[in-house]
Structure 1
Amino acid sequence: MTMFGISYEKLFVLAVIALFVLGPERLPAAATWVGQNIRRVREFAGHANRQLRSELGPEFDQLREPLEQLRGPLQDLRSLRDPRSALMRHLLDEPSPPSNGPVPSARPAVDTDAT
């Protein structure tokens, strides 16, 4: 996985599409522009994070704690978007323990002594 959850294969396909759409003359300039803007967004996010941390102090970590607790279940939900990982998770999960009660039948009992 790479940035934004895009695999290398998908990046390659996007690069080939960009080559056809933009052409070999404009592709390097477009790639430079995209790289510069991604760098600016990262710098902005890092600056905002440092500013919040300095202004909130220890309360910042208290605010982040519930979000970190949600990260695990969200990763589980994201893995369900990929059919292969969802299938592997389903196949590798331990089966639920059998119940001790009677197993309900799918068909209702039919009375054969109709007189």
Structure 2
Amino acid sequence: MELFGINGSELLILGLIAVVVLGPEKLPEYAQKLAQLIKSIRGYAAGAKERLREEVGDEVADMDWRKLDPRQYDPRKIIRDALLDDEAPASGPASPSASGGSAALAAAAPAAALSALPTVATQTQLAEGELAPFDSEAT
């Protein structure tokens, strides 16, 4: 059993040090204060849980909190699932055709979006020895 990363032998050593430092007269008093502190912390936690249940409802008791753990999500898997999703994009009034289905629409959407972009003008070649244009305000 580990409590705050302390194993049994370390806990025993800490107890012996407490007996030596506090002395046998004050040790029961401090042990009682520690027990009261732990009880009050448990009471605060139970009260907060009950208040949350009252405000949010009984669905909190049924909620699987492990699903909300951010450590279980792999960004690569999320992106892969989003890219390989067979559903049509939510934006756009287009409906899937009977022959192509939503997969064909999803595949055609990026091509249609790219064709709507303005084309880049072709760059002219500089003559040999000619300096490239320089904009002093841009730097």
Task: Report the TM-score when normalising by structure 2.
Answer: 0.42
Say which structure is richer in helix.
1
Q: Which has the higher contact order (CA 8 A, sep 6+)?
A: 2
Task: Report the TM-score when normalising by structure 1.
Answer: 0.50
